[in-house]
Amino acid sequence: MSVMRKTPLAIAAVLATTIAMPALAVAALFEVGTLPGENAMPDPACPAKPCLAISRTTGYQVKVGDARDPHVVKEDGRIVAWTIKLARPGKKQIEFFKKNLGGDSTAQLTVLRPGNKLYARVLAQGDPVALEPYFGQTAQFALRKSIPVKKGNVIGLSVPTWAPALAINQAGTVSWRASRPKGACNDFSKPTAQTTTANITRFFCLYRTARLTYSATVVSDPKRTSEAAPAG
């Protein structure tokens, strides 16, 4: 009687048909608010004149050249950090802003769910950050607790006082919206910043030729990139 011996290659082939391989789930890291090439983040105004800043409002970018909705989330995931590019205002400019716009420069990330007629609900927020120690730098802040986001959410920036994170003299195809009501688009001192969750507000005011210089880092939810091998 003869005995058939299996080679290692034959054994491997048998195992491949009887053992289901685990599927691989992969998450991606991406920035919301940054764009490549000629649409890269510009330098914010200040200390050159006019020295303009985001003041007492919540805003998000609507368009940069041909790119629409750069602050809209494209995939479900979690925000883990946010970045802001800050100008370096002069001493007198800082004193002016503090005196007229509520005090020290601060900002916080705000997640919005857009609705009809330019209304949006505040879903979540990061902690407020004092910005003055980082003037003249691009600063990234890790969140103490990541914030879940869904595709279609808007990542805004809430500025209760002022923030030198506004690039001016941009092309006419560059625009952003602020949480100011109709008839108050030029009232930059009135507080309209969204600083609590569940609020519903209208982003009526559109400002052209200017860009908000911030972005957010999102880790997408894991996606299956391969299916389990069928059992033989």
The pLDDT, as a whole number, for residue 57 is 98
The one-digit pLDDT tens for each residue of the chain (232 residues) are 444 444 544 434 433 444 455 566 777 899 999 999 989 999 999 999 999 999 999 999 999 999 999 999 999 999 999 999 999 999 999 999 999 999 999 999 999 999 999 999 999 999 999 999 999 999 999 999 999 999 999 999 999 999 999 999 999 999 999 999 999 999 999 999 999 999 999 999 999 999 999 999 999 998 876 655 455 5
Q: Is 152 left (phi over 0), alpha (psi -120 to 50) or beta?
A: left
Q: Cis (ω within 30 of 0) for the bond into 50?
A: yes
The pLDDT, as a whole number, for residue 11 is 37
Long-range Cβ contacts of 177-182 (<8 Å, 24+ apart): 177/59, 177/60, 177/62, 177/118, 177/203, 177/204, 177/205, 177/206, 177/207, 178/57, 178/58, 178/59, 178/203, 178/205, 178/207, 179/57, 179/58, 179/59, 179/120, 179/203, 180/57, 180/204, 180/205
Tell me phi and psi for residue 133, to 5 degrees.
-60, -15
Dihedral of CA 116/207/73/130: which sign?
Answer: negative
Burial class (CB in 10 A: 0-12, 13-18, 19+), 120: buried
Continuous segment of H or E residues that includes residue 94: helix 91-100
Residues forming beta bridges with residue 205, ordered by sequence position: 178
Residue 39 to residue 120: CA distance in whole angstroms: 26
The pLDDT, as a whole number, for residue 20 is 52
Domain covering 27-223 assigned CATH 2.60.120 in the classification = yes
The pLDDT, as a whole number, for residue 5 is 47
Q: Cis (ω within 30 of 0) for the bond into 47?
A: yes
Let me know: does 167 contact 42? Beta carbons within 8 Å: yes
Question: Domain residues of the chain, as ranges?
Answer: 27-223
Give the distance between the most distant pair of CA atoms in the chain. Answer: 101
The pLDDT, as a whole number, for residue 26 is 74
The pLDDT, as a whole number, for residue 1 is 46
Q: Which two tokens stand for residue 91?
A: 């001493």
Q: What is the pTM of this model?
A: 0.85
Residue 168 to residue 165: CA distance in whole angstroms: 10
**Cα separations (Å) of 78 from 211, 219, 228?**
24, 5, 27
